[in-house]
Amino acid sequence: MDNKKISGGGAPSAPERPTLKTIAFMTGLGITTVSRALKDAPDIGAETKERVRMVARQLGYQPNRAGVRLRTGKTNVIALVLSIDEEIMGFTSHMVFGISEVLAGTQYHLVITPHSHSKDPLVPVRYILDTGSADGVIISRTEPDDPRVELMHDRGMPFSTHGRTDMGIVHPFHDFDNEAFAHEAVRALVARGRRRLALLQPSSKLTYYSHTRIGFQTGLHEYGAEEVPLRITTDNPLADIKDTVEALMRSPHAPDGIVCSSSGGAIAVNAGIEAAGFRLGRDIDMVAKQSTDVLSWIRPEIITVSEDFRHAGRELAKAVIARIDGVEPELLQSISPPVWPKT
């Protein structure tokens, strides 16, 4: 070990961290008084409070988290439950950054609780509930009938979800308006004269699968286009997406427009289109959702819509904290509209 003593004399190198005791000693007050003064309790004199706060600031006092947690049960932790399975374009980090940004202004720490989403997704949630290791939880990849939501609701654990559920439980969430996205995507394609449209949709397990579908279908109906079925999702490997699209393009039912729910998928779709000898902008148009402005660098012909994951992270963090503070869940639900590029 390389614990370096600065002075050789026997004095410990690190200055002891101040505690309530330290402040009590310095002010000549009792520990309880100091504790209550720092909490702005009503039965402490104004002058005393001021004095205590001064000394605390001077010493750089920060309450010991273990002490608070042991006594009160409050962990001051927000857990983010993440699937560590493959994710091509890394939107997760943007969400983490958004959450961090909000938590940085609070007493909360962010703890990452991972799980492999091939395994039981309840495991990490159950762990958090059983060990009481967080005051609030954020989950993503929300499903319409999500058992994690039910479990946390039943146990009274504050949480917010990235994506909605459809199970009659009112809870905080943030969602991207995938319905509007798909609907407007159809409009944009029809405006370019496209009529035979395909949809690369998300996994049917996730809630936004149905939102995307509904938006797409009402769009087809409203703007007078027809669907070319595409039997593959953004959860499939890129190589499979490419092969499927290539085969579809070579078939007599080739679409002339396509809507993609992810940027990774869009890249693979484009590869399939080009492998079949077609070109974006000329033979077919594509609208794709992206979390970072990368698609237009790849093929400027792709019509891009941005989903801001950092913003989502901020909203999710704010929501779960408000829920911890007792705000009603109805007031903690938000939906972001799709952002189209300025023209």
Q: By the criterion CB under 8 A, which residues form the site for a copy of itself?
A: 1-4, 6, 14, 17, 60, 62, 64-67, 69-70, 75, 82, 84, 87-94, 96-97, 100-101, 104, 109-114, 130-133, 153-156, 238, 242, 264, 267-268, 271, 292-294, 297-298, 326, 329
Q: Closer CB to a copy of itself, residue 119 or residue 192?
A: 119
8 A C-beta contact, residue 230 and residue 202? no
8 A C-beta contact, residue 148 and residue 170? no
8 A C-beta contact, residue 329 and residue 172? yes
Please list every residue from 35 through 74 that binds DNA, using CB under 7 A.
Answer: 35-36, 38-39, 43-48, 63-64, 66-68, 70-72
Cα dihedral sign, 52-53-59-63:
positive
Q: What does 334 bind: DNA, a copy of itself, none (CB cut-off 5 to 8 Å by kind)?
A: none
Closest approach, Cβ 179 to a copy of itself, in A, equals: 26
Distances (CA, A) of 139 to 3, 19, 118, 210: 40, 35, 16, 19
Q: What does 30 bind: a copy of itself, DNA, none (CB cut-off 5 to 8 Å by kind)?
A: DNA
Q: What does 84 bind: DNA, a copy of itself, none (CB cut-off 5 to 8 Å by kind)?
A: a copy of itself
Closest by CA position to 146, among listed 159, 133, 135, 134: 159
Q: What does 247 bind: DNA, a copy of itself, none (CB cut-off 5 to 8 Å by kind)?
A: none
Q: Closer CB to DNA, residue 63 or residue 89?
A: 63
Closest approach, Cβ 331 to a copy of itself, in A, equals: 14
Closest approach, Cβ 49 to DNA, in A, equals: 7
Q: How many CB atoms lie within 10 A of CB 307?
A: 22
Q: Closer CB to a copy of itself, residue 14 or residue 46?
A: 14
Q: Closer CB to a copy of itself, residue 18 or residue 215?
A: 18
Closest approach, Cβ 56 to a copy of itself, in A, equals: 14
Q: Closer CB to DNA, residue 67 or residue 300?
A: 67
* Helices 31-38, 46-59: inter-axial angle, 10-degree rounding: 90
> Distance between CA 182 and CA 234 in Å, rounded?
15
Q: What does 253 bind: a copy of itself, DNA, none (CB cut-off 5 to 8 Å by kind)?
A: none
Q: Which helix (H) or strand (E) holds 94?
A: helix 91-103
Distances (CA, A) of 317 to 136, 153, 325: 9, 17, 12
DSSP secondary structure string, 23-59? HHHHHT--HHHHHHHHTT-TTS-HHHHHHHHHHHHHH
Closest approach, Cβ 184 to a copy of itself, in A, equals: 25
Cα dihedral sign, 109-103-62-14:
positive
Q: What does 130 bind: a copy of itself, DNA, none (CB cut-off 5 to 8 Å by kind)?
A: a copy of itself
